[in-house]
Structure 1
Amino acid sequence: MENEEILDLPVIGRAGTMQSVDDASRTFEVLWTTGAQVRRYSWARDEEFDEELVVSPNAMRLDRLNAGAPFLNSHASQRLTDILGVVENGSIRIENGQGFARIRLSERDEVEPIWRDIKAGIIRNVSVGYRVHRFERVAKADRTDGGPRALYRAVDWEPLEISAVAIGADPGAGMRSEARQSDARQFPCAITTKGRNMPEDTIAAGADETRNAPAPAQTPAIPQAAPAVPAPDAESIRAEERSRVSTIMTLCARHDLGSDLANDLIARGVSIDAAREAVLDALGEANPLGRTIELAPAQARGTGDAAYRDAVADAIMHRAAPSLHAVSPQSREFAFRSLMDLARHAVERAGVNTAAMPDMEIAGFAMGMRSAGYHSTGDFPAILSSVVNQTLRAAYDATPRTFGAWSTRVTVRDFRPVDRLQIGNAPDLVKVPEGGEFTYGTATEGKESYAIATYGRIIGFSRQMLINDDLRAFDRVVQSFGASAANLESDILYSILLSNPAMGDGTALFHANHGNLGTAAAITEESLTAMLRAFAVQKDLDGRAITVLPRNIIVPPGKRMVEIHKQLAATTPGSTAEVNPYSNRFSVVEEIRLVNTAGPDPWFAATDPAFGAVEYAYLAGQEGLYTEHRVGFEVDGIEFKARHDFGAKAIDWRGLYKNPGIA
């Protein structure tokens, strides 16, 4: 009886050993397969089985390996630096059911320590990564020792690469390096099932059949004398230890208990039976209620697609601010559900039966928290993250910032100090007589330096908030974070005007030596004239007059604001004495941070941003707020981190003017 099915399987791994080493050519021989039976775990049948590789040129696709396949570091293949060397062309040979190859190691500096360890015998294990195109599944006779009842014989398989590994035998975990990567690539494999309840001797009789030849039908068992049991040797001890290690790692991986438990059991030399008990204890602790998670059919499970997440996020945004976010056709289904209903929907969409689950456990699943050995698909954390990002950005953009009218925006590549040069005017042109030579001139330079810094906070969305449907409180916190980031920028920029920091020449920004500090006065025709005069007599670094014109008058709300608007108002004078000379001359910037509670309010004048008197900088590619999320540790829920990279500095005092004001 025979039937065939197609399954998608990952790249698998087998252990091998290093042989002779040639120091001069940086090559060494490896025994990369013996084809021996190893214990595996079924991908689709939830069973253990024995896997056997048919080591025969007719059953193996050796073209890729024989044409210079890579020699990798522990099956890693995401970066070029993972390649340690190469399988030498044409070095593959099959002898007595074993596969040998010659490896040539790279001469790169970072590979040198590995080469030294190989020569010293410190690194001696290798593993081959291979793909199986066809398995023959043969049922064994009933077993009384609890072992596998099926043998999978790889009659068509393809080695892809050879790797240096720390632990030589890991058949249980399978060394499925490709499946551990983000793409989790799978490959079709045909599995042909032979007859059931066949004697094990019948299986052994077909061990040499090839990929294309049919299995012998009803091959009679051949009685064989029981072999003598050899005395334990070093290789037997190593094989037994490899089997223990692989079995423990298989148990922990199968039940999603992570590598920490497996590594601890292996390091303590725990037996396989004791390891099974430890795994059961760990499962009991992870699921104290003994609840079984029922999964929906595979075709009904959610895929975590972006369209679904966007629709739910839009619905939450509408609930939080209906006047700002209309209900879209895509989000109408979710628009009037509570947060708990949306969380339950996301969990069920991921394939979890929530009928008998309390709200607190559903909340844990929705937020990606581990429960009873199952991990959610991450839809709900991604949905909340989208809501947080949109809310933060909207609040950040909506918060007024007035400094853009008088300061210059730039981006910087990193957090190192940024040098801004103040360059004097070009040297004067001098007359060149007929036949004379042109002479060199120089430009005087000054320098101001500053660096951006990182600002941020973490906010948490707890399971309690989810269950209580406390959306408005969460929305207010997120909005306040967005506004705080915008206010931080204003605080930094206006602190430059208020704190009067020292410039690169060691003198305060506003100082008589810089010619930009006026005599205390209200905003009148006379004080504006004095301010314009101060700009007019500014000189460059070489002491020559330059043209610097103020564009903005910066004032706090209150008395100063009333004064400047009177000076800029357009009027119909009855005589020349009533003419307003500064009508519509300047733009007014009103800023509450300039209110002085301890004395008279000051007022300032500034040039157009193009002059570059003050710079504010963002990190390139991270302009504004940047957010990310993770399942909480300090918070029993989801944590959202808001980060802001920002900095500012006065670059040239010639573009700024201050008047301390009077009461």
Structure 2
Amino acid sequence: MPQLYYQRAFVDSNTIKITEDGNFFDVVFATETPVYRNGWDESFYEILSCNSVHIRAGRLENGVVPLLDNHARTKQLGIVTKYSIENNECRATIKFSTQEQFTGIWNDILAGIIRSISVGYNVHKYLREINGEGSAPNYRAIDWEPIEISLTPIPADYHASIREETTTQKPEIVMPSNNEHTERTQATEILTAERNRCTLIRNAARIAKMDVDFTDDLIERGLTIEQAREEIFNKMAEQSQAPTVNTAHVTADESEKTREAMTVALLHRAAPGSVPLIDQAHDYKYLTLLDFARRCIDQRGDKSNRYSPNEVVKRAFSSTDFPVLLHNAVERSIKKYYDGIDSDWKKIAKKTTAKDFKEKTGTEISGSTTFEEIKEGGEYKNAFIISSNQNKVQLKTFGRVIKVTRKTVINDDLEVFNELPRILAYAAENFQAQKVWSLVTQNAKSSDNVPLFHANHKNLFNHPLNEEGLNALRTSMKRQTQVTQEPIIAPKFLIVPIELQMKAEKMLTSEIASEKNDKNTMRNSFTPINTPWLTDPNVWYLCADPNLSNGLVYAYLEGEEGLHVEKEVDFNDDSLSTKARIDFDCTIWDHRSWTKSSIQ
């Protein structure tokens, strides 16, 4: 999961504690109270684990976590001097600034006017916990890092606060139960109550036809269902006095169709004629990127004409399908170009997959595979399949990113949907081609730690590219034997540099051998391959079918073969990153299916 920055508002518990020094106070900056969130893939209840093993406390321990005024990084009010974790609460002691300009804020803290605390943090890892059918799951942050603490007026977690002791009566302390079942029951009751609160508020808001932002605000402020209903009623009364506006509500199925039509229209604008326009796409074929963002906002029931271009982009990225639309267009363009490339290197190497990034070994047959007579009552002899420690491949990850920024949208820069995907697709193809062909051109070592083409392998010659030369290399390969001492498969491909392309094609297509003016015995004997990756104009090769014999091997991650594309939205700078990556490796597992000749 990508690292994202969140800001979490909390509700005061009406307690303040001021130390004798006068400029220190204690806060509870995080508890394990579930907070409802709207995610890109699903809605969920976020829980910050208040377990020390789940918190990156380096900033806290080094005293570099600031106290800010409502998350304003340019307005520091103090600094955290120490922290502790007790009873599933994260607590901190804060030294408040002595600057005169902040005296009013300090007095409001003393007077109990400012009570709410918020923490800004990075989540590095969530644990997804299922709550049952029909309920949103828990996302428990089991690797997170506090960045800053703020005084803020907007609450959501009513257990986090500035702490105060105003009575001499000792508060009731509930000790953790030793009964694990009881602890789970208590946690379940808390989660169930929070889910019910959110569900009831959403149902009430939906019946009253309240918009999503208003509903989310009711939930995040921690209102009870009674308080939420009162605000909904007041909002309805306010709306009844305003002119009626017909708002378009889009169903999930309609939303999918609309997004598909927008994607097609966007690709058509970026590269006219590259995709056929479906009926609904004609409605969007002249829209700019900013127009698309406004449409996405309007479809949520909001009014995009109230916002500046900058605000339109910000809202479209944070609360609509706009990032999905952009990603779909970039991904489809990348795959269109990538899938349209004729990869000659895939013809001469065997494809395999690996389940992970650990080293994978190939297999060999131990003993002869020749069928033997089985007399009545006799036993079948095993042909053991063994793992070869010499045949190895290990995946590595390679990739690039196409970023759609706020500036891209406002400037209506369409190159990001056509030219950049084309360049990236061909870059991915060329990267893999260079890796595979370099095994041949650089004479990489085979699994026996000897160069692929070597006298010991009996596959290195000095013959011209003619009928006799082809026959000599073909004979040599057919005389090779596999590990089982059985003949190897005959060569299939004649591979030449582009300088020898015409000569090779004539030899394999002409009915008459030009040198002796008789029948061409090599006609249609091989499939020609010419490639610019072969830079020596005086070298040519024969290669067997890689699917029938080991030779060159390339591997992808299982389930993600080829170029894999995924998206990542960055809410800090309102941008979409479309990452194209390849989990790939290639190597030589056997030398017997290749021969090489240099022209004398």
| Contact 2:539-2:598 within 8 A present in 1 as well | yes
CA displacement at 1:391 relative to structure 2: 0.4
**Per the alignment, in what secondary structure is the counterpart of residue 176 of structure 1?**
helix
Task: Report the counterpart of residue 557 of structure 2 in structure 1.
Answer: 619
CA displacement at 1:343 relative to structure 2: 1.4
CA change 1:592–1:185 in 2 (3 A) is farther
**Per the alignment, in what secondary structure is the counterpart of residue 564 of structure 1?**
helix
* 1:515 and 2:534 aligned: no
**Per the alignment, in what secondary structure is the counterpart of residue 509 of structure 1?**
coil
Amino acid at match of 1:645: D
Amino acid at match of 1:460: K
Structure with the larger RCO, 1 or 2 (CA within 8 Å, 6+ apart): 2
Amino acid at match of 1:176: R
CA change 1:634–1:514 in 2 (3 A) is farther
Task: Report the counterpart of residue 584 of structure 1 in structure 2.
Answer: 524
CA–CA distance in structure 2, aligned partners of residues 363 and 436 of structure 1: 80
* 1:380 and 2:380 aligned: no
**Per the alignment, in what secondary structure is the counterpart of residue 577 of structure 2?**
strand
Task: Report the counterpart of residue 235 of structure 2 in structure 1.
Answer: none
CA displacement at 1:501 relative to structure 2: 2.4
| Contact 1:537-1:545 within 8 A present in 2 as well | no
CA–CA distance in structure 2, aligned partners of residues 296 and 74 of structure 1: 43
* 1:496 and 2:434 aligned: no
Amino acid at match of 1:383: L
* 1:553 and 2:494 aligned: yes
CA–CA distance in structure 1, aligned partners of residues 414 and 464 of structure 2: 49
**Per the alignment, in what secondary structure is the counterpart of residue 367 of structure 1?**
helix
Amino acid at match of 1:488: F
| Contact 2:399-2:580 within 8 A present in 1 as well | yes
CA displacement at 1:431 relative to structure 2: 7.9
Task: Report the counterpart of residue 569 of structure 1 in structure 2.
Answer: 509
CA–CA distance in structure 2, aligned partners of residues 75 and 551 of structure 1: 55
Which one of 450, 463, 469 corresponds to residue 527 of structure 1? 469
Task: Report the counterpart of residue 533 of structure 2 in structure 1.
Answer: 593
Q: TM-score of the superposition, structure 1-length normalised? A: 0.53
* 1:330 and 2:273 aligned: no
Q: TM-score of the superposition, structure 2-length normalised? A: 0.59
Task: Report the counterpart of residue 417 of structure 1 in structure 2.
Answer: 359
Residues 380-399 of structure 1: matches in 2 within 5 Å? 380-399=322-341
CA–CA distance in structure 1, aligned partners of residues 423 and 270 of structure 2: 14
| Contact 1:295-1:351 within 8 A present in 2 as well | no
Task: Report the counterpart of residue 187 of structure 2 in structure 1.
Answer: 164
Amino acid at match of 1:630: E
CA displacement at 1:538 relative to structure 2: 0.5
| Contact 1:454-1:643 within 8 A present in 2 as well | yes
CA displacement at 1:482 relative to structure 2: 2.0
CA change 1:367–1:526 in 2 (3 A) is same
CA displacement at 1:594 relative to structure 2: 1.1
CA change 1:608–1:79 in 2 (3 A) is farther
Task: Report the counterpart of residue 639 of structure 1 in structure 2.
Answer: 577
Amino acid at match of 2:581: R
Residues 63-78 of structure 1: matches in 2 within 5 Å? 76-77=131-132
> C-alpha deviations, 1:475-513, integer Å up to 9, x for none?
211222222222222222212212322223222222221
Amino acid at match of 2:501: M
CA–CA distance in structure 2, aligned partners of residues 338 and 347 of structure 1: 14
**Per the alignment, in what secondary structure is the counterpart of residue 363 of structure 2?**
strand
Q: How many residue pairs align between the two structures?
A: 409
CA displacement at 1:634 relative to structure 2: 7.4
| Contact 1:76-1:177 within 8 A present in 2 as well | no
Task: Report the counterpart of residue 448 of structure 2 in structure 1.
Answer: 505
CA–CA distance in structure 2, aligned partners of residues 189 and 565 of structure 1: 71
Which one of 523, 537, 541 corresponds to residue 604 of structure 1? 541
Amino acid at match of 1:492: K
**Per the alignment, in what secondary structure is the counterpart of residue 415 of structure 1?**
coil
Amino acid at match of 1:516: N
CA displacement at 1:655 relative to structure 2: 1.1
| Contact 1:397-1:486 within 8 A present in 2 as well | no
CA–CA distance in structure 1, aligned partners of residues 581 and 340 of structure 2: 18
CA–CA distance in structure 1, aligned partners of residues 515 and 304 of structure 2: 86
Q: Which moved more, 1:575-584 or 1:483-492?
A: 575-584
Amino acid at match of 1:592: P
CA–CA distance in structure 1, aligned partners of residues 479 and 470 of structure 2: 15
| Contact 2:497-2:533 within 8 A present in 1 as well | yes
CA–CA distance in structure 2, aligned partners of residues 345 and 623 of structure 1: 35
Task: Report the counterpart of residue 145 of structure 1 in structure 2.
Answer: none
| Contact 2:270-2:417 within 8 A present in 1 as well | no
> C-alpha deviations, 1:210-269, integer Å up to 9, x for none?
xxxxxxxxxxxxxxxxxxxxxxxxxxxxxxxxxxxxxxxxx998478799xxxxxxxxxx
Q: Which moved more, 1:615-624 or 1:380-389?
A: 615-624
**Per the alignment, in what secondary structure is the counterpart of residue 593 of structure 1?**
coil
Residues 110-125 of structure 1: matches in 2 within 5 Å? 118-120=176-178
CA–CA distance in structure 2, aligned partners of residues 574 and 527 of structure 1: 15
| Contact 2:333-2:417 within 8 A present in 1 as well | no
**Per the alignment, in what secondary structure is the counterpart of residue 559 of structure 2?**
coil
Amino acid at match of 2:438: S
Which one of 342, 367, 370 corresponds to residue 400 of structure 1? 342
**Per the alignment, in what secondary structure is the counterpart of residue 451 of structure 2?**
coil
> C-alpha deviations, 1:437-460, integer Å up to 9, x for none?
769576696721112222222221
Residues 74-473 of structure 1: matches in 2 within 5 Å? 76-77=131-132, 118-120=176-178, 162-164=185-187, 175-176=194-195, 179=198, 254=217, 300-303=248-251, 305-368=255-318, 376=319, 378-423=320-365, 426=368, 447=388, 448-473=391-416
CA–CA distance in structure 1, aligned partners of residues 516 and 493 of structure 2: 26
Structure 2 unmatched runs, 5+ = 1-44, 46-127, 139-174, 209-213, 223-241
| Contact 2:366-2:385 within 8 A present in 1 as well | yes
CA displacement at 1:555 relative to structure 2: 1.4
Task: Report the counterpart of residue 152 of structure 2 in structure 1.
Answer: none
Aligned-residue RMSD, C-alpha: 4.4
CA change 1:189–1:546 in 2 (3 A) is closer
Identical pairs, percent: 24
Which one of 471, 480, 483 corresponds to residue 538 of structure 1? 480
CA displacement at 1:347 relative to structure 2: 1.2
CA change 1:303–1:439 in 2 (3 A) is closer
CA change 1:533–1:443 in 2 (3 A) is farther
Report the structure number with the largest CA radius of gyration.
1
> C-alpha deviations, 1:163-186, integer Å up to 9, x for none?
427xx9899xx6226958xxx995
CA–CA distance in structure 2, aligned partners of residues 411 and 614 of structure 1: 14
CA–CA distance in structure 2, aligned partners of residues 170 and 413 of structure 1: 37
| Contact 2:247-2:301 within 8 A present in 1 as well | no
Task: Report the counterpart of residue 285 of structure 1 in structure 2.
Answer: none
> C-alpha deviations, 1:53-96, integer Å up to 9, x for none?
xxxxxxxxxxxxxxxxxxxx99944799x99xxxxxxxxxxxxx
> C-alpha deviations, 1:617-650, integer Å up to 9, x for none?
3323222322222322675422212222223332
CA displacement at 1:545 relative to structure 2: 4.7
> C-alpha deviations, 1:543-589, integer Å up to 9, x for none?
x351421010111211x223322322323469966332212211101
> C-alpha deviations, 1:263-309, integer Å up to 9, x for none?
xxxxxxxxxxxxxxxxxxxxxxxxxxxxxxx9996953445621110
| Contact 2:437-2:533 within 8 A present in 1 as well | yes
Task: Report the counterpart of residue 648 of structure 1 in structure 2.
Answer: 586
CA–CA distance in structure 1, aligned partners of residues 398 and 243 of structure 2: 43
| Contact 1:296-1:352 within 8 A present in 2 as well | no
| Contact 1:405-1:589 within 8 A present in 2 as well | no
CA–CA distance in structure 1, aligned partners of residues 547 and 220 of structure 2: 60
Structure 1 unmatched runs, 5+ = 1-12, 14-72, 84-116, 127-161, 192-250, 260-293, 369-375
